[in-house]
Chains A and B, each alone.
Chain A
């Protein structure tokens, strides 16, 4: 079994991190929309070594019927990690961590969904973490909000998320697995970007009140950055469809 070692330093003398990033730099992010055939909406996210698939089904008839709410849709969320997604094999049975994350991710997304438009239905969000690399709940939220939009579910805003933490006494953006493990603090934050409202905050570690305030500002900035990437990913999908349609129309026109 591959055994990772504690790195000697998380930040080198030039101020760059294990993967060469600066303190306020995000990892490479790749966002794709509409990657699954059967789901009503779907998205694929890569952030660092995170690889996450999200599918949205719904609004659809509530099953079993008694879970339906008379005045709005029931939003259901499942965050699940594949057994091969971690260093040690993870049992596929839902862990306590996954149950907690399912709840906080639902609470992060639900404020953005106009669920009162679809009473007596369910909107199901299924998140599968294929490979995890720290900050997977944030990457999952970024993907889930794209998948909801891809499913055509009306929303007040996209939700963008990013973690910020502390390594070797310094506030750093978007911690990787190792930085989270050996760092001093980790704080994931999700933002409803159009309203500047925070829909998820969690924290563990140790931060002074000043560090906390600084970390929040840093996270909010990069949530806005991620919001732009999300918009590009969504538009990209529909530009592609538009081009396809135009091409088709063009060739049909030529045939006549």
Chain B
């Protein structure tokens, strides 16, 4: 069951000053309304994972590990590999996170990232079939939030894509339906690079990449994933208020412009 969340512990005066500044086109960390925070991407930091990446988005820190294993295909897609995205909001990352089974926030985070990767067909799942209806490769994308300073969705999506681009699986051949590993590595079959960008509505303004304080005062949030051809491939609105129709359309325009800039950064980092 989903419940109204507790209100943020931030003082009213601080909340008002954030909203006030934004109505004058300024933000508490000095950015313009459409600026992203500093983005740093490191890849290949976990040797035991097939692929890994760590993303620093301002003070937000997210690590993603990719593991590739064999498993049973789903009955309705017998000749496709499987993509599984999971997110852990581990308690070391924020005073508001608690240990335990995934809550609605971590499930939403994982599912929004999953939708971007899946719907843009970023991974060619048909190439990950070993034997139709019997055995396929399963790609596990595990998102690990290490420090929560806002906009976990974008940080996680960027880290997931970087880790997928970084991922290597062993060379293999298929003999009598069994996978026999050979020396050497090959990359995962990546066909598309979707970029997820989140905007927050604060007062009457839309701001790109909200930090934690901004998330605590935002009335609504819009996330969209844009693929390489500039198409929208996933979207999710969040937050306790609505967006006008004009705001929704304007937001998607801003997001699609911003996505191209970030895509270049990821490709550079993952190279």
Contacts and interface: CB of A to CB of B under 8 A. Distances in A.
Interface of A: 67, 69, 71-78, 96-97, 99-100, 102-107, 110-111, 115, 124, 187, 192, 195-209, 212-213, 216-217, 220
Contact of B108 (A103, A203, A212): A103
B4 A106 contact: yes
Nearest to B222: A201
B237 A198 contact: yes
Contacts of A200: 237
A110 B3 CA distance: 10
B249 interface: yes
Interface of B: 1-4, 6-7, 102, 104, 107-108, 110-111, 115, 118-120, 222, 224, 227, 230-245, 248-249, 252-253, 256
A72 B5 CA distance: 11
A76 B1 CA distance: 6
Given A102-B1, A106-B2, A192-B242, A216 B249 contact: yes
Contact of A100 (B104, B118, B231, B241): B104
A242 B202 CA distance: 45
A102 B2 contact: yes
Contacts of A124: 1
Contacts of A102: 1-2, 104
Contact of B235 (A76, A107, A187, A199): A187
Contacts of B1: 76-78, 102, 124
- Shortest Cβ-Cβ A-B pairs, 3 listed: A197-B242, A203-B235, A102-B2
Given A75-B3, A78-B2, A212-B232, A206 B242 contact: no
B111 A100 contact: yes
Listed residue (B2, B230, B231, B248) with the most chain A CB atoms within 10 angstroms of its CB: B2
